[in-house]
Amino acid sequence: MADRTVDAPLPPGSVVGVLGGGQLGRMLALAAARLGLKSHIYAPAGDNPAFAVAHAATEAAYDDRAALDRFAAAVDVVTYEFENVPVETALHLRRAVPVAPSPQVLAVTQDRIHEKSYVAGLGVPVPGFAAIDTAADLAPALERLGRPAILKTRRFGYDGKGQARIDPHADSHAAFRAIGGKPAILEAFVPFERELSVIAARDWRGRFAAYDVPENEHAGGILRRSTVPARIDGATADAARAMAQRIMEALGYVGVMGLELFAVREGGEVRLYVNEIAPRVHNSGHWTMDACLVSQFEQHIRAVAGWPLGSPARHADATMENLIGHDADRWREIAAEPGAALHLYGKRETRDGRKMGHVNRLAPFGSRDSG
Ligand code: AMP
């Protein structure tokens, strides 16, 4: 069957269906509302902060065919805020309504081996990796890739969960047990100078727009801070955006994508390696909400709804800081800070490691050095 596409802009009043009910869905719904579009969030039972700001909400499992059929009948296009939506769910919905990005994108990005093989197959560099199906695969893989190395579950990892670092004298079998003994990928440890990401959009006609490249700092596998401009030269930024464009073209991608990169200094040159593709809006793009005319959330809605892409131009320098767990208890103080834009996600329960909100701190454009 030919893919269903959005051939003309969905007029205001149309309904964008979003699979997943977390903070990304919430910010997508807010962006859709600004354009006069409605959002319908579909998510399994749980704390779904997107429900509070959406036009309609369905709380149902991803394999509830009857609920999916009602959802498909109620929306004009379907997208995701969560990459682990079952591919079957997306395929089922696509029989009735356009789905963007396509289910194939989910299939590629849900498995770290498929993802890295796909990216490498396009000639885009990735860290050395090996598939680990059983503990017996560890020794030869470590022999080839060296130590330290990073062991990650192939599927369902996020925010550093399902990951273990294997240091020079560490017990690799214990690391495999620690991630649950599930099918895994072993990656060469990348001695990066910095982490970068590309937040880019592609529309149904293949037009492409990318934001300035942020520089990202993680702690405990969780993004803490993103800063624009990154301390990189223009050629590196162009190379990063070109990698995203190459991948999005190959996937026939529609929507916003986040591409996580490692920048490594090798013999005086900066080289980029792809860490991960996020087939959705990305945490390292949250600064666009206040530092750009069109945020990544609005850009994603524009792309999937067949609207013209907005300008990704940035009018301020910015640092986005995630408010993780009890960081968000400082909301009063942050709300009173000049130059700070506070975003809280309305989650019911504060837990350690949980993303509760973020704050964008702006500075005049060009006041922060790059390069
Ligand atoms: P991931 O869940 O794959 O995005 O990994 C979370 C974080 O762990 C990354 O943003 C890096 O800070 C670190 N990390 C992951 N893979 C590697 C690697 N191969 N080499 C060095 N650091 C890594």
Q: How far is the CA of 275 from the centre of ligand 1 (A)?
A: 7
| Cβ of residue 190 lying under 6 Å from some atom of ligand 1 | yes
Q: How far is the CA of 239 from the centre of ligand 1 (A)?
A: 20
| Cβ of residue 149 lying under 6 Å from some atom of ligand 1 | no
Q: How far is CA 186 from CA 9, 129, 207, in A?
A: 44, 5, 35
Q: What value does the mean pLDDT take over residues 194-220? A: 98
Who's near 301: CB < 8 A, 6+ residues apart? 16, 28, 31, 32, 35, 37, 307
Q: How far is the CA of 149 from the centre of ligand 1 (A)?
A: 10
Ligand 1 atom at minimal distance to the Cα of residue 157: 2
- pLDDT for residue 1 is more than 60: no
pLDDT band at 89 (very low <50, low <70, confident <90, very high): very high
Q: What value does the mean pLDDT take over residues 161-174? A: 95
Q: Which residue minimizes the CA distance to atom 9 of ligand 1?
A: 221
| Cβ of residue 83 lying under 6 Å from some atom of ligand 1 | no
SS3 of residue 10 by DSSP: coil
Smallest Cα–Cα separation from 315: which of 289, 296, 334?
289
| Cβ of residue 81 lying under 6 Å from some atom of ligand 1 | no
Torsion of CA 107, 108, 113, 119, to 10 degrees: 180
In 101-254, which ranges are continuous DSSP H helix?
Answer: 103-109, 112-121, 138-145, 172-178, 234-251
pLDDT band at 13 (very low <50, low <70, confident <90, very high): very high
The rounded mean pLDDT for the chain is 97
Q: What is the pLDDT of residue 324?
A: 98
| Cβ of residue 284 lying under 6 Å from some atom of ligand 1 | no
| Cβ of residue 150 lying under 6 Å from some atom of ligand 1 | yes
Q: How far is the CA of 160 from the centre of ligand 1 (A)?
A: 7
Q: How far is the CA of 49 from the centre of ligand 1 (A)?
A: 27
Smallest Cα–Cα separation from 280: which of 103, 82, 94, 41?
82
Beta-bridge mates of residue 369? none
- Model confidence over 90-117: pLDDT tens digits? 999 999 999 999 999 999 999 999 999 9
Ligand 1 pocket: which of 192, 275, 322 to mutate (most atoms within 8 A of CB): 275
Q: How far is the CA of 279 from the centre of ligand 1 (A)?
A: 17
Ligand 1 atom at minimal distance to the Cα of residue 190: 20
Q: What is the pLDDT of residue 371?
A: 54
User: Structure tokens of 244?
Assistant: 């995203």
Q: How far is the CA of 94 from the centre of ligand 1 (A)?
A: 33
Q: Is 199 within 8 Å of 256 (Cβ atoms)?
A: yes
Q: Is 18 within 8 Å of 89 (Cβ atoms)?
A: no
Smallest Cα–Cα separation from 212: which of 223, 194, 225, 197?
197
Q: What is the pLDDT of residue 368?
A: 83
Q: What is the pLDDT of residue 161?
A: 81
| Cβ of residue 275 lying under 6 Å from some atom of ligand 1 | yes
Q: What is the pLDDT of residue 125?
A: 98
The answer for 97, left when phi > 0, alpha when psi is -120 to 50, beta otherwise, is beta
- Model confidence over 248-288: pLDDT tens digits? 999 999 999 999 999 999 999 999 999 999 999 999 999 99
108-136 exposure pattern, b = at least 16 Cβ within 10 A, e = fewer: bbbbbbebbebbeeeebebbbbbebeeee
| Cβ of residue 317 lying under 6 Å from some atom of ligand 1 | no
| Cβ of residue 127 lying under 6 Å from some atom of ligand 1 | yes
Q: Which residue minimizes the CA distance to atom 8 of ligand 1?
A: 221
The pairing of beta strand 15-19 with beta strand 38-43: parallel
- pLDDT for residue 2 is more than 70: no
pTM for the whole thing? 0.97
Place of tokens 């079952």: 86
- Model confidence over 225-255: pLDDT tens digits? 999 999 999 999 999 999 999 999 999 999 9
Q: Tell me which of 370 and 204 has the higher pLDDT.
A: 204
Ligand 1 atom at minimal distance to the Cα of residue 189: 20
